[in-house]
Structure 1
Amino acid sequence: MAGKILIIDDEKNMRHMLTALLEKEGYAVDTAASGGTGVKMAARALKLDAPYDFILLDVKMPGVDGISLLKDNRGTLTRSMVIMMSAYGTIDTAVSAMRHGAFDFISKPFKPDEVSLLLQRAAEHRDLKNENLYLKDQLGRMEGRFRFSSMVAKSDAMKSVFALARKAARYPTTVLIFGGSGTGKELIARGIHGESDRAQRPMVPVNCGGIPETLMESELFGHKKGAFTGAVCDKKGLFEEADGGTLFLDEIGELPLSMQVKLLRVLQEGEVRPVGDVRTRKIDVRVIAATSRNLREEVAKGAFREDLYFRLNVLSIALPPLAGRQEDIPLLCDHFLKTFNHKLGCQVSGVSPAAMKLLLAYPWPGNVRELENAMERSVVLTDRERIDPASLPSAITGSQPGHPVNGHFSPEGFSLKAAVRKLEGVMIRRALEETGGNRTQASKLLEISHPSLLSKMKLHHLR
């Protein structure tokens, strides 16, 4: 069988002609005489995990046009290769159709061969995309690692997370991501968006704890001019900004109870009403939420609505802490070193065994973000081919801030400016000791000018 096709067209003759043509070529064909019926059929097939391979969708239909139907039901229809059809086609219509997720556009009347060739091309495009995904996965397996978007791992815990995230990307289902600070919740959300059929539309991140409660409704849903003091013009909300794409609600547990009720309505109805407006606006937004809180406990305390919790928790992904997957630490170090070597123009080849021993023993309260910061800091500070304990933060080495580690200086904290400033003083002192206080020779060792050395000595209170 060549594949499953759904034809959505209000013209009976067109449905009959296409059915006869496509069944003759081996396709299994279903038809719908209206957009609403077609969407229900596509949704039913999707729920059974057997979506249509192709959908032929007419642009000009009673009630709602095909472009609007595609836009409002993007998550359902574009799981298939959608081909728009119209007798009134223009370049603008074709561009609009493809912007909203259609694979291609064909003008009526068309020859049978045109439809057949277009379907073959759509199938080739789909197969090529699937093959690329398969090859990426196989390459990762050969390298002993798994990759999802910009994330890498080899632990069984993260393999399970990546597999679940890939599955989530295939459907418009609401996702709730759990995990401590720095575990990569936003990276998983971006990966799900990037591998979904919404990838060409925006992903809009929102920190629910970073917006004042008085501005929250306006930020999310928009407002009309004059709705409140300072509303000098109409403003789109973040839900409308993300129309056709994904809205990432980070730290959803911080959302005030008053806004939880309004968010629940948006998720149920698929429409928003800007502040000060009397009309609602239809939106097509896939919501991914994340939290570092235990929402079940928040529900028990009355701080989070139970109905919103269940509405968000359709598919949950729990990110494990870095301390629980030590086998990922060497892989992540290698990944970050390559990133920062390219970004900073450095050539650090790896991590010394002594430094790696410290990294593996550290509990990583800041998770992957803390490891990333530590690697960036170390790439900046090390003067060796590999990262050694001297360039690691004192929290990891267990030394006192500002004291030597294995004969080298280890500044406190993660501030690169402070670390460079302290290291500069140490290097000047060492150069002066090496040259017996000869400032001219010391400036040559340090590869700076004599006046510059004098200025820096004054800054660091050296004589």
Structure 2
Amino acid sequence: MSDQTTAPDDQPDAPNDPWLARAHILVVDDEPGMRNFLTRTLTPRCARVEAVENTAAAGRLIDASHFDLIILDNKMAGRTGLEWLAELRRDGFFTEVILITAFADLETAIEALRAGAADFVLKPFRTKQILNAIARCLDRAALRRENFVLRRQLGASPEPEKPGRLVGTSPQMARIREMVARAAATPTTVLITGESGTAKEITARALHDQSPYSAKPFVPVNCAAISSEIIESELFGHVKGAFTGAASSREGLFFYAQGGTLFLDEVAELPLALQAKLLRVIEDRKVRPVGSDREVPIDVRLIAATNADLSEEVAAGRFRADLFYRLDVFRIHLPPLRDRPEDVEALARMFMGQISAQLGLPPLALDDETLKRFAAYPWPGNARELRNRVERGLIMGAFDVPHVEDAGEAETDDLSELEKRHMLRVLDAAGGNRAEAARRLGVSRKTLDRKCAEWNA
């Protein structure tokens, strides 16, 4: 039996909320009049509205596709809304829920909060009331996701890759911009390859910004920076009591990227056991929070990146072949800076403008001699090394212009030998501290350890 058999018919303008127009909303109420009222109210204002009469039908819908918000009646025949909501939360279902009821008392309100309702609206309500409640929930959820992602970015690395543009006049960069534009228009999984410092995250952001997902979150994840013990929980979330220390349920990064893009950087560093689970997520478009029996639908565009040769990793048994083929649908390879010296000047000028503004320092002149020396240098650390050189020059007030021989390239053109020399030189400069050397190189500690083992260093 429904709480309320009629609904008000006033229709004032909706709140000016940017998330409302993109929202997918599910209405669960056993009274046809209320379902019809909410459907008429929300359909012209939202991306998608579904309305069902009971929790069984609602369960089938949320098992099949993602919803940003559920408007849930409490008093229904069979199971109450609160009982169903409590069950969903125990199973790791994190979508926002507004409980509507005609029987409002303190006990019901407390139960609603304990069960995980985001808001509580008393029937009968005016159109503006429910629209304001929806706007509050969507805004709160968006802010929570943005704050979570920002905290991760700030805590993940002392030197996160800075947002920017795909800069350069070389034929290689023109081709990359063309590939980004083509891939951005589709939901296809993209694999970005290239050496450390070649702006893989910037390329991923460009894909996101040019895509239909651009209004939704871009969530970058450095797979090498998360320990193997917690990475499954970080990606998929967990329910209360799933493991020691899981005092409450928590959303995973796939949830925070819902409707947007999840960028898995250094994907080759994922543990093999998790690779199998990631493959299933890609194929089924569902994630299972740790400790839950329920799979939650996701709508996420996946971009992966690596500086490793995944074919070699597959041959060595360190990366699953089936996951490699699932990720390698559309590949964008970023060439090293030494192969496109004509891009050095544009990058240096961009970095100069960005960093001088950030540091509050006047820009240094990039004279012909400096630019000539920059163009001749092989930049083993790629664009990241160039950026660091510009920043150091701004702080010191003059450029320490590199020479070709500084990179150890005078005697060899072998790229693996150049990589070895550069990494060992940085390790030596860091006093043998591998964690610090990995930070300076822009690679994971695991990658540096593996390289040192190969070189018996």
Amino acid in structure 2 at the alignment position of 1:269? D
Q: Of residues 328, 336, 353 in structure 2, which corresponds to 1:321?
A: 336
Q: Which has the higher contact order (CA 8 A, sep 6+)?
A: 2
Q: What is the DSSP-based 3-state SS (H/G/I as helix, E as strand, rest coil) of the residue aligned with 2:344? A: helix
The counterpart of 2:175, out of the listed 148, 160, 163, is 160
Specify the code of the residue in structure 1 equivalent to 2:373.
L
Match of 2:321 among 306, 309, 323: 306
User: Equivalents in 1 of 2:394, 2:373: separation in Å?
Assistant: 16
Specify the alignment match of 1:297 in structure 2: 312
Which of the pair has more CA radius of gyration? 1
- C-alpha offsets along residues 134-182 of structure 1, whole Å, 9 cap, x if unaligned? xxxxxxxxxxxxxx96231100001111111122211111110001000
Partner of 1:151: 166
Contact 1:394 1:413 in 2 (8 A): no
The verdict on how the C-alpha distance between 1:184 and 1:398 changes in structure 2, with shifts beyond 3 A counting, is closer
Q: C-alpha distance in 1, partners of 2:407/2:252?
A: 48
1:437-456 per-position Cα deviation (integer Å, ceiling 9, x unaligned): xxxxxxxxxxxxxxxxxxxx
Asked if 1 retains the 8 angstrom alpha-carbon contact of 2:374 and 2:402, the reply is no
1:91 aligns with 131
**In the alignment, structure 1 residue 278 sits paired with structure 2 residue 293:** yes
Give 3-state SS (helix, strand or coil) of 2:177's partner. helix
SS in 1 for 2:303: strand
Deviations 1:341-395 (A, max 9, x none): 2222333353222222221111111000000000111122125xxx5xxx33688
CA contact (8 A) 2:166 2:177 kept: no
Offset of residue 72 of structure 1: 3.7
Aligned pairs for 1:36-55 (under 5 A) are none
Distance 1:370 1:303, change over 3 A: same
Partner residue of 2:191?
176
Q: Which amino acid in structure 1 is aligned with residue 245 of structure 2?
A: G
> Contact 2:63–2:295 at 8 Å: present in 1 too?
no
For residues 361 and 70 of structure 1, the distance between their equivalents in structure 2, rounded to whole angstroms, comes to: 56
Residue 206 of structure 2: SS of its match in structure 1?
helix
In the alignment, residue 131 of structure 2 is paired with which amino acid?
I
Please state how far the C-alpha of 1:70 moved relative to its aligned partner.
Answer: 12
2:437 aligned residue: none
Q: Distance in 1 between matches of 2:363 and 2:278?
A: 48
**Do structure 1's residue 247 and structure 2's residue 262 form an aligned pair?**
yes
268 and 274 in structure 1: CA distance in 2 versus 1, 3 angstrom threshold: same
Contact 2:262 2:303 in 1 (8 A): yes
Alpha-carbon distance change, 70 to 354 in structure 1, aligned in 2, over 3 angstroms: farther
Q: Secondary structure at the match of 2:280?
A: helix
1:251-310 per-position Cα deviation (integer Å, ceiling 9, x unaligned): 111111111100000111111111111111111111110000111111122211111111
SS in 2 for 1:190: helix
What is residue 227 of structure 1 aligned with on the other side? Answer: 242
Tell me the residue number matched to 2:84. Answer: none
Within the alignment, does 1:59 sit opposite 2:68 as a pair?
A: no
Q: Distance in 2 between matches of 1:364 and 1:171?
A: 34
SS at structure 1 position matched to 2:207: helix
Which residue number in structure 2 is paired with residue 392 of structure 1?
Answer: 401
CA distance in 1, matches of 2:246, 2:263: 25
The 3-state SS of whatever aligns with 2:167 is strand
Q: Deviations over 1:386-428 (max 9, x none)?
A: x5xxx336887689xxxxxxxxxxxx989xxxxxxxxxxxxxx
Alignment correspondent of 1:342: 357
Q: Which residue identity lines up with residue 154 of structure 1 in the other structure?
A: T
| Structure 2 counterpart SS, 1:176 | strand
8 Å Cα contact 2:279/2:323 also seen in 1:
yes
Task: Label 1:58 to 1:320 Cα distance change in 2 as closer, same or farther (>3 A).
Answer: closer
Q: Distance in 1 between matches of 2:67 and 2:168?
A: 35
Query: 1:350 is paired with a residue of what secondary structure?
Result: coil
State TM-score, norm by structure 2.
Answer: 0.55
Residue identity matched to 1:91 = L
**Closer, same or farther in 2 for the Cα pair 1:58/1:349, shift >3 Å?**
closer
Q: Residues 380 and 407 of structure 2 are in contact (CA less than 8 Å); yes or no, is this contact kept in structure 1?
A: no
Residue 204 of structure 2 aligns to a residue whose secondary structure is: helix
CA RMSD of aligned residues (A): 3.8
Aligned counterparts of 2:386 and 2:48: Cα–Cα separation in 1: 52
The unaligned stretches of length 5 or more in structure 2 are 1-45, 69-126, 140-162, 409-424, 428-457
Which residue of 332, 345, 348 maps to 2:347?
Answer: 332
Number of residue pairs the alignment of both structures matches: 287
SS at match of 1:235: coil
Deviates more, 1:183-192 or 1:347-356: 347-356
Task: Give a deviation string over 1:174-222, Cα, whole Å, max 9, x none.
Answer: 1100010000000111111122222222111111111111112111111
Q: Residues 90-124 of structure 1: CA distance to partner in whole angstroms, max 9, x if unpaired? A: 6359859999xxxxxxxxxxxxxxxxxxxxxxxxx
1:376-391 equivalent positions in 2, closer than 5 A: 376-382=391-397, 387=399, 391=400
Question: Do 2:373 and 2:402's aligned partners in 1 also have CA atoms closer than 8 Å?
Answer: no
Contact 2:188 2:330 in 1 (8 A): yes
The aligned amino acid for 2:306 is: T
CA distance, structure 2, for counterparts of residue 343 and residue 95 of structure 1: 35
For the 8 Å contact 1:206–1:249, the answer to whether it is kept is yes
